[in-house]
Amino acid sequence: MALGFALLIAPNFALGQDAASCFDGTAAVHHALGESPETLPTGVGVFDMPDLGAAGLTVHYARPAGFSSTSPILLVLPGAGRNSGDYRDAWIEAACASGALVAALGYPEEQYDFAAYNMGGTIANLQFDEPGFARVSENATTITLEDADIRFDAVTQRADWIFDDFDRVFEHLVQATASEQDTYDVFGHSAGGQILHRFALFAPQSKARVIIAANAGFYTFPDFSQALPTGLQGTGLTEADLSRAFGARLVVMLGALDNDDAAGGTLLHTPHIDRLQGLGRLDRGQSFFEHARDEAARIETAFHWQIDVIDGVGHDYRAMSAAAAEYLARLAD
């Protein structure tokens, strides 16, 4: 990544060592640490946390030499490609410049399908009957079907959702690095953005300080008149939970050019989702935010969510990572 990206860093991401020399010769400092290591050495590396979720997860991390007990910690959720190593690498220069610890979470697709990953485990036994798949560009696909052709079971047991994994990964990182942090920031793009806006709704008691959900494909609205996957009816959540969720710092981050089927990634179309949320990711994110703002006003609670539309960017996780770092930097102003 360019140094210009490295300068767009989070509020406690005070500039430290020269980013260009931070991981000079990355292969030489790469650590394969096995399962749940007790310490996290300086460098880039990977380890497994087999006790999390239904089937465990892999953590790709970057710990620069400038990391200290007061340095910030950032978790990253990748898109549908589950390429957590690539997502970690997109933040390396920012980590080098700031001394921050970055940890990208990899949920294997073989064990975590759309229901378990994108939906955060809030549904199970998902089936699409007679879906229509279309390759609309080199890196973009659409899935089109009728709403009645989506079948699943709602999951109301919190322990079966993946959202608590994030606090547990953070707690492990704190122990393994002797960190004094008690909160973390988290960024997710595409499928990762789907997870994180649901994380804000379903786990408002988490230790997350800032939640940045970027370029999500479709949304679960804070609406008790609609059932999953587009609403909260039957989830066990209450208006008190919703009030607490609206008090969190969720940033709905959208690429201004990510409003077309061909922009990239996989986009789900059904008559209900298209009518309620819009046809493209930009429209859908704006609809979600506006609906949430109106719902907060209806239940007369504080609303701390924000929306940030990034000019000139489409469905690009590296560009959105840079925009997320810039947003975090602005919080210090």
pLDDT in tens, 171-188: 999 999 999 999 999 999
For 49, the 3-state DSSP assignment is strand
pLDDT band at 54 (very low <50, low <70, confident <90, very high): confident
Name the DSSP letter for residue 316: -
pLDDT band at 12 (very low <50, low <70, confident <90, very high): very low
Q: What is the pLDDT of residues 286-329, one digit of tens each?
A: 999 999 999 999 999 999 999 999 999 999 999 999 899 888 77
Q: What are 167's two structure tokens?
A: 């606090």
Round to whole Å and give the CA distance between 104 and 186. Answer: 9
pLDDT band at 126 (very low <50, low <70, confident <90, very high): very high
Largest CA distance in the chain: 56
Quick check: 9 pLDDT over 70? no
Round to whole Å and give the CA distance between 254 and 193. Answer: 10
Q: What is the pLDDT of residues 129-148, one digit of tens each?
A: 999 999 999 999 999 999 99
Nearest to 185 by CA among 71, 67, 81, 87: 71
∠ CA(292), CA(252), CA(119), 5° rounding? Answer: 80
Query: To the nearest whole percent, how much of the chain has pLDDT over 90?
Result: 82
Provide the mean pLDDT of the chain. Answer: 90
Q: What is the pLDDT of residues 147-157, one digit of tens each?
A: 999 999 999 99
